[in-house]
Amino acid sequence: MLKYTIRRIIGMIPMLLLISLVVFLLAKAMPGDSLSGEIDPNNTDPQYIEEMRERLGYNDPIPVQYFRWVSGFLQGDFGTSTRYKVPVADLVLERLPNTIFLGVTSLVITYILAFAMGIYAGRKPYTVGDNLIGGLNYLGLAIPSFIAAVFAIYFFSFNLGWIPYSGSVDPTLQPGTFDYWLSRIHHVLMPAIVLGALATASYTQFLRNDIIENSRKDFVRTARAKGTPTSKIYNVHIMRNSIIPLVTFLGFDIATLISGAIITETIFTYPGIGQLFLDSVTNRDYPTLMVITMMLSALTLVGNLIADILYGVVDPRIRLD
Amino acid sequence: MKKKSLLLMLTLLLVLSAFLAACSSGDSADEPADTDTEPTEENTGDEGGDAEGDTGEAQTGGTLTYGIDAPPEGLFNWAFYGIQTDAYILELMDEGLIQYDENLEPQPNLASWETEDNKTYTFTFEQGVMWHDGVELTVHDWVFALETIADPDYDGPRYANVQTIEGAPAYNAGEADSISGLNVIDDYTIEVTFDEARINNLVNVWSYPMSRAQFEGIPVAEMSASEQVRTKPVGLGPFKVDSITPGEAVIMTKFEDYWKGEPNLDGINVQVIDNTTTVGALGNGDIDMIALQPVNGPEVEELENVEIVTYPGLSYYYVGFKLGTFNAETNEIVEDKEKYADVNLRKAMAHAIDRQSWIDAFFFGYGSPVNGPVPSNHWIAADPEELPTYEYDPEKAKELLAEAGYEDVNGDGFVEDPNGEEFVAKFSHYATGNPTFETRAQAIVQFWQEVGINAELEMAEVNLYYDMIEKDDPSIETFFGGWGTGADPDPTALWGSDQLWNYPRYKNEESDQLLADALDLEVVGDDRDARKDIYVEWQKMIAEDVPMIFIAELEEIMALNERVQNVEYDVSGSNSPHEWSIAQ
């Protein structure tokens, strides 16, 4: 397994290089740069714009710019955000805790809901309860998250006043206190639910279908025949087999955890990586944009690796060599 | 395993599509080129306004929640800031030597000035003005700001406001240790010499001091990333920054030693909220004050606890005609495009547009038609009666077209050009995530079609769009745009025939001469009226030549909760925030 892991990690290097090339070229292919777009004639002048382009190296040939970026990247210099004028690393680190907090909360919500609903629906398929859950899930899949977010804000924040609709914390509280953490949880709840709704739906349906399928397999019939209690059949025999497809999702969840939800974060003005990413695209903040994209790509690859390794753990029949 | 690689591909695809999707969003491009004037937005502090009609004395205490609809960049220093959102916060915590009154005339604030010849100015600072850290303001803080901006390592856009000081270019080139035009007489008096006598030296010069004590030991190149700019800014204004939650909120408390007197409010919480939640947040009373987008106006007007205050903006929208090209090597404009060279054609296209109903439909009435290149509230603006106006008049438009030789020869319902060729007017508009842009552009195209001009719309992504306009891309024929004016009325940067930002590529020597005369001390001297007369003359000429169809000037819209008092706005911005108060 160790050999396999190392081989996979080495295999990632050319992949990442290729991704970096694509990311860079795509970023450069976007029209304009951080200094173009709508101009406020009172706040800038053409000489300054020209000077800054020169200073930022936008006038150099593309290969020169690429190698400058990659070599900086390899040496741990992720560049300076053209918009915020601070090192991108600082910017990302500042947002990362918020996003991870949101991602983890949403994952926890997803898992709890998905397992509860999936197992129930799988054990009692084609009943009213199952159909109800199925209906709910398809509704969740069908409603885009930005619609769900706006409606959630409208009902739960404005009409009922239960939850805050913006920010990650009440800014007047002292960081580190109990109230502070309570406020953070309070703030993260709604975006996490909205974010988790979509994932919950697909998790539940996968789990339900797998349980139904597995419950018709021969080994289940054998287990029933020899008198194994139903709960044990479901919780041990079927469960273990049904989790395998979910492990695939887990790999992607790791990237999702960081990428957060671009739209959800923006609507809830939750300052995380997703919001930063969107912001960097609209403002042509190349250094930030490229770092985040690279980070997400790397995490997707790592997530896959973890998923592959977990296959082996969950299902001993799968050999990794 | 197959399923997994498929999912991997899907994920990569999603990342890619996120790129594409994100390219098209960003409503910030909605605003015409920014409506701000010079950063100074304070009104005269001692005006003692009670416009809200409350009973005498302002109540003290209370915390006001101020909404902003985009996260700040976090550059909380006048010398480094770049966007309006940061300016909103800066206005609460810092101020400059000069402020502008309701006619956009400079007035003394932290300093007063005297000049004999418009070349050498003597500034006298107020004594006893304190920075938030308790250090007293002296002229050295201003010298420090000017030297920072003139420093070769400075990475902000303000050098244009310093380079007119004698010796600043030498300092910028690294040839001098100090700026020779700055002569410190004592801690409160300084003599500033400019490189030549100009009528607008004062309004152009950088007028914000920077705390020398705070920035001590920080190299200029690292200032914009320093905590003195980003997280612990120190200013001279009525409120000091207490804590900053990046991207979310700025908590401010009153600065008790504020030089104009202790602020009425205990503090201001600046909170970032998304546009989609503005109306609800106002209705709930969660935010007390916010600048509104026109689209939210009608909904907010219906709220009982919120009052809408509008004040004139300094920006305008236009439809430009590409008349020529700009040569970047020689900085010259050649009017070499023939298609719209006929002034009658341009006038006909202007008469075809019903501006009022366009504004009502797309800006919900928060604006009015504008007839010249100067927003009507600027002191140099010509009286509308003096200007040739192009009212909505389809019949007149058709007549003008016929006069210019544009007639429908082949009977397809659209005119052909004087040579009998098909005439198609191409209209370009920028595209962002805002869905109203395409409809409002389509509306203009339809106005033209109604008078028989075959028009076509092309939407271009906003960054690409301005790039194409700047480079005179052949596909740009008529285009939509917006400009803002500052306190300094000089429009040379947008209209001079050697200027990159003269987007229509309009070249007229008379116009250049008038713009130069208006700045020439020998022609206008100190006489404001003489200067205005020249600008009026110039506006008449531009309106007569129609290098662009002037469409609309917008109003700035502020929503105020009914408990907020003593807040007033005029064209220069709000009154000093230390007068603001909240009814308990």
Determine which helix (DSSP H) or strand (DSSP E) holds B485, and give its type and residue range. none
Question: Between A31, A41, A282, which is nearest B33 by CB?
Answer: A41
Residues A151 and A7 in one domain: no
The one-letter amino acid at B287: I
Instruction: Kindly report the nearest CA distance between residue B417 and chain A, in angstroms.
Output: 33
One DSSP character per residue, A234-281 reads IIIIIHHHHHHHHHHHHHHHHHHHHH--HHHHHHTT--SHHHHHHHHH
- Of B20, B74, B478, B504, give the one whose Cα is nearest residue B246: B74
Q: Do B553 and B381 meet the contact criterion of CB atoms below 8 Å apart?
A: no
- Of B294, B316, B551, give the one whose Cα is nearest residue B444: B551
Q: Which residues neighbour B5 within 8 Å (Cβ) at sequence distance 6 or greater?
A: none
Mean pLDDT of chain B: 85
Domain that holds residue A20: 2-74
Best mutation site among B9, B19, B206 for testing chain A: the one with the most A CBs within 10 Å? B19
**Measured between alpha carbons, how far is A48 from B160 in angstroms, rounded to an integer?**
8
Domain ranges of chain B: 3-15+314-554, 44-93+236-311+556-582, 111-220
Is residue B260's pLDDT more than 80? yes
Provide the pLDDT for residue B547. 93
Best mutation site among B314, B463, B467, B495 for testing chain A: the one with the most A CBs within 10 Å? B463
Looking at residues B159-167, what average pLDDT do you find?
90
Best mutation site among A24, A166, A280, A310 for testing chain B: the one with the most B CBs within 10 Å? A166
Residues A32 and A176 in one domain: no
Class of domain B44-93+236-311+556-582: alpha beta
* Chain centre distance of CA B507: 25
Determine which helix (DSSP H) or strand (DSSP E) holds B299, and give its type and residue range. helix B297-301
**Measured between alpha carbons, how far is B379 from A199 in angstroms, rounded to an integer?**
59
**Considering the entire predicted model, what is its pTM?**
0.78
Provide the pLDDT for residue B49. 39
Lowest mean pLDDT among A244-253, B45-54, B435-444: B45-54
- Of A297, A246, A281, A280, give the one whose Cα is nearest residue A92: A280
**Measured between alpha carbons, how far is A290 from A25 in angstroms, rounded to an integer?**
10
A321 is a domain residue: no
Residue A178: exposed, middle, or buried by beta-carbon count in 10 A (0-12, 13-18, 19+)?
exposed
Q: How many CB atoms lie within 10 A of CB A25?
A: 11
Q: Do B151 and B215 meet the contact criterion of CB atoms below 8 Å apart?
A: no
Contact B38 A42 (CB under 8 A): yes
CATH of the domain at A176: 1.10.3720.10
Domain boundary among A40, A74, A108: A74
Number of domains chain A contains: 2
A264 is a domain residue: yes
Instruction: Give all strands of the β-sheet with B182-186 in edge-to-edge order.
Output: B111-115, B120-125, B189-193, B182-186
Please give the residue that has the higher pLDDT: either A217 or A40: A217
The residue written with tokens 């210019």 in the block is: B404
The residue written with tokens 């998250």 in the block is: A145
Contact B75 A279 (CB under 8 A): no
Residues A158 and A206 in one domain: yes
Residues A21 and A142 in one domain: no
Residues A302 and A241 in one domain: yes
CATH number of B111-220: 3.90.76.10
Half-sphere exposure of B515 (CA within 13 A, CB side): 22
A64 is a domain residue: yes
Question: Between B16, B225, B245, which is nearest A171 by CB?
Answer: B245
Provide the pLDDT for residue B38. 39
- Is this complex's ipTM strictly greater than 0.85? no
Provide the pLDDT for residue B35. 36
Looking at residues B564-568, what average pLDDT do you find?
91
Provide the pLDDT for residue A310. 79
Provide the pLDDT for residue B8. 53
The one-letter amino acid at B8: L
Is residue B31's pLDDT more than 70? no
Instruction: Kindly report the nearest CA distance between residue B209 and chain A, in angstroms.
Output: 18
- 234-293 in chain A: CB under 8 A from chain B: 248, 251-252, 255, 262, 266-269, 271, 275, 277-279, 281-284, 293
A26 is a domain residue: yes
Residues A30 and A100 in one domain: no
- Of B203, B181, B297, give the one whose Cα is nearest residue B558: B297
Residues A55 and A103 in one domain: no
Q: Give tens-digit pLDDT for A84-133.
A: 888 899 888 988 888 889 988 988 898 899 889 998 998 888 899 999 99
Going by CATH, does the domain composed of B3-15+314-554 fall within 3.10.105.10? yes
Q: Do A59 and A104 meet the contact criterion of CB atoms below 8 Å apart?
A: no
Chain B residues with beta carbon closer than 8 angstroms to that of A37: 29, 462-463, 466
